[in-house]
């Protein structure tokens, strides 16, 4: 599922502010005597933040935005001596696998005789989205309400008639495809879960859904997982208009096409009205024929 908090952490590029945020998190978690060693830069000898626990043990937090976590771990942790600190906490925006956490934990336990705690990107996201929302607002500039999300997420959809390509890559003159062109006009990546049509058939509201991504909770488990639609990107999904027309006309006699929509994987819907010309074209195919279903 798309997370604005995780995306903001991935894009975090200020090491000093990241250290300040880590210090605030430590204070919120109840650690004592939290001290930033070099909050404005300069040599810190591999020590970013020191602290003490409730039971008086001394601890060291190492904070990094680097992605080469193995190299960073060696640079900071290999400088430490056995018994120097009782607990080490690693703050990072990388995703630590279970095997990597185990490797770091075993090094701290057997070599440094200390406890190891990881605060990787998923752990930070969980903290910031739940008990530490003020810290999220302060450092990631994400409001607790939906204003940020609506600002940053903005998909648009455009419908048009399209012709299938012939074996030579050229478009045939016969338009038999309905193109759903979806553009990401927001400022963060967005995963698309489905496109569809809202229609009224014989006075009954109906929805025709074309599922795209399996990232959330799809009904079709065989759909492939797609990459996110990046800001400024446009992607077009082609539906066989003849099969769609037959499906609609099989539902009843009086058909009103209300709107087309695209839905992202966190449930936001973005819609557009269906023009009369497009409606006339779509419902003009023979209703009785059986056409193969296709969604590209």
Residue where a domain terminates, one of 99, 123, 149: 149
Residues 182 and 224 in one domain: yes
Strand order in the sheet with 192-201: 204-211, 192-201, 255-264, 269-273
Counting the structural domains of the chain, the total is: 2
Do 97 and 180 share a domain, yes or no?
A: no
∠ CA 287-293-296, rounded to 5°? 130
Which CATH number characterizes residue 194's domain?
2.60.40
Do residue 9 and residue 145 come from a single domain? yes
**pTM for the predicted model, two decimal places:** 0.52
Report the 10 Å Cβ neighbour count for 101. Answer: 15
- Residue 179 makes CB contacts below 8 A (sequence gap 6+) with 159, 160, 161, 162, 236, 237, 238, 239
Per-residue confidence (pLDDT) for residue 218, from 0 to 100: 45
Give the integer Cα–Cα distance in Å for 62 and 80.
Answer: 12
Assigned domain for 227 exists? yes
pLDDT at 39: 67
Beta strands in 99-225 (DSSP E): 115-119, 155-162, 177-184, 192-201, 204-211
The pLDDT value given to residue 229: 86
133 plus 238 within the same structural domain: no
Same domain, 251 and 126: no
Can you tell me the distance from the alpha carbon of 221 to that of 264, in angstroms, rounded to the nearest whole number? 17
Regarding whether 69 and 86 lie in a shared domain, the answer is yes
Locate all alpha helices (DSSP H) within the chain, ordered by sequence: 4-10, 15-28, 69-77, 98-110, 121-129, 133-140, 147-152, 241-249, 276-282
Tell me, yes or no, whether 234 lies in a domain. Answer: yes
Exposed / middle / buried, residue 225 (Cβ in 10 Å: 0-12, 13-18, 19+): exposed
91/164 same-domain check = no
Same domain, 260 and 139: no
Q: Which residues of the chain have pLDDT under 50?
A: 146-148, 216-219, 293-296
Main-chain dihedrals φ then ψ at residue 173, nearest 5 degrees = -80, -20
Collect all residues with Cβ–Cβ distance below 8 Å to 168 and sequence separation of at least 6. none
The pLDDT tens digits for 225-259 are: 677 888 889 988 888 888 888 888 888 889 999 89
Expressed as residue numbers, the domain containing 111 is 4-149
């Amino acid at each position: 599922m798309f997370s604005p908090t995780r995306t903001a952490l991935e894009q975090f590029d200020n090491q000093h502010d990241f250290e300040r945020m880590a210090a605030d998190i430590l204070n919120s978690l109840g650690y004592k005597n939290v001290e930033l060693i070099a909050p404005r830069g300069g040599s810190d000898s591999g020590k970013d933040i020191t602290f003490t626990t409730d039971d008086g043990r001394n601890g060291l937090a190492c904070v990094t935005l680097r992605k080469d976590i193995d190299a960073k771990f060696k640079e900071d942790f290999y400088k430490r001596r056995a018994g120097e600190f009782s607990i080490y906490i690693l703050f990072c925006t990388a995703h630590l696998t279970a095997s990597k956490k185990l490797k770091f934990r075993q090094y701290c336990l057997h070599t440094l005789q200390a406890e190891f705690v990881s605060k990787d990107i998923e752990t930070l996201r969980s903290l910031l989205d739940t008990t530490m929302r003020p810290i999220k607002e302060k450092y990631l500039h994400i409001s607790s309400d939906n204003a940020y999300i609506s600002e940053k997420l903005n998909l648009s959809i455009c419908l048009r008639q399209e012709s299938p390509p012939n074996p030579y890559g050229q478009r045939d003159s016969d338009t038999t495809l309905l193109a759903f062109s979806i553009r990401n006009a927001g400022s963060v990546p967005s995963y698309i879960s489905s496109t569809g049509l809202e229609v009224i058939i014989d006075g009954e509201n109906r929805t025709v859904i074309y599922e795209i991504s399996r990232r959330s909770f799809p009904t079709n488990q065989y759909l492939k997982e797609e990459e996110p639609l990046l800001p400024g990107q446009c992607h077009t999904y082609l539906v066989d208009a003849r099969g769609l027309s037959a499906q609609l006309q099989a539902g009843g006699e009086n058909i009103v096409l209300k709107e087309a929509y695209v839905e992202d994987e966190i449930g936001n819907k973005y819609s557009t009205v269906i023009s009369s010309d497009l409606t006339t074209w779509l419902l003009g195919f023979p209703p009785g024929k059986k056409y193969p279903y296709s969604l590209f």
